[in-house]
Chains A and B, each alone.
Chain A
C-alpha cells in the first residue's frame, strides 16, 4: 500500500513535465518598435488561455505559451494581432 502511495505521488510530480502545454510562434508584420511590441504583449496577456508571452523584437516574432488544457485558434490569434494594430504573417505550433 505504502509503495503505491509513493508511486502516485511521484506520478503527480512528473506529470506536468510529461504533458507539456502548447507553444505557438507567430510572426508579426509592423512590429518594429518596443512600443508596438508592448501592445501585442499586453493584448495576448489579457487572454485567459495564454500563460506567458515572449517577444523577440529583432526577429519580429512572438512566442505564446498556452495554459494546459487551453487552446488558441489561428483565427483568434489573427484577430488579437489585428486589433492591436498589426498583421499576422505566419504561425507555427511547436510539436
Chain B
C-alpha cells in the first residue's frame, strides 16, 4: 500500500470514528502508562496497563465543564489497537476506545459511557492525527468532540536527546461554550516522558502529559 493511500484510509477512518488526546492509547505489552489532559473545560487522568500490544485496560477520571453543570466521572476504560502499520520510515495506527463508569453532576449520580477512536501517523519529521470522542450520560447532554492535529519536528534528535515538536490542533466541541478552538502546542519528550503545552487562540491553557514504564 502506498503512503498516499494509507493517509487517505486513515483520514476516512478517522472521520467515521472518534478521538482521544492520548499519545499512544496502547503501550508495549506489560507496560503501565499514565496520561493526563488539562484545560479550563476538561481534565482527564488515565492509568492503563497494556495486557498485549493490541489491548490495554485502565481507569479514567474526568472533569467536564459543558454548558450543563459540571460533571465528575470515574470510568473503567479499554483501549484497542485495531491496526498498526510499521514501515521503515513511518508508523500509522487506528485505535478504538470504550469505557463505562459512574458520574456525578449537581448532586445527582448516573452511569457515564464513553466511546472514541483515533487514527494517527508519524515519521521522524511530521505527525498527523484525527480523532473523535463522546461521553454519554443522563447527567449532561451528549458530549462529542472532533480533533485534528498536524505537527512537525524542527530538528531530528537522537534517542537520548531532548525532542521538540510544534503542533497545531483544531477541536470542534458542539456542547461547549467555545465550540471551535485552535491551539498551537509545543510537544516535548525525553525518554519515557512526553509533555504538551499550549494556549488556544482565545486564551485557554492546555497541558497534556504521558509517561510509560
Contacts and interface: CB of A to CB of B under 8 A. Distances in A.
Contacts of B161: 34
Interface string A33-55: 11111111111000000000001
Interface in A50-95: 55-58, 60, 82-87, 89
Contact of A57 (B31, B159, B194, B212): B159
Main secondary structure on chain A at its contact with chain B? mixed
Contacts of A82: 53
Query: Chain B CB within 10 Å — which of A27, A39, A85, A86 has the most?
Result: A85
Interface residues of A, number: 28
Interface residues of B, number: 35
Given A34-B157, A56-B159, A39 B31 contact: yes
Interface stretch (B20-28, B36-44, B57-65, B171-179): B20-28
Contacts, number: 81
Interface in A10-35: 27, 29-35
Given A32-B124, A55-B159, A83 B53 contact: yes
Main secondary structure on chain B at its contact with chain A? loop
A29 B88 contact: yes
Contacts of B29: 83-84
A73 B107 CA distance: 59
Contact of A58 (B122, B156, B213): B156
B38 to A, nearest CB: 20
Given A32-B122, A84-B29, A85-B84, A38 B191 contact: yes
Contacts of B86: 29-30, 85-87
Nearest to A87: B86
Given A39-B27, A83-B28, A33 B122 contact: yes
Interface in B74-98: 81, 84-91
Interface of B: 23-24, 26-31, 52-53, 81, 84-91, 122-124, 156-159, 161, 163, 189-192, 194, 212-213
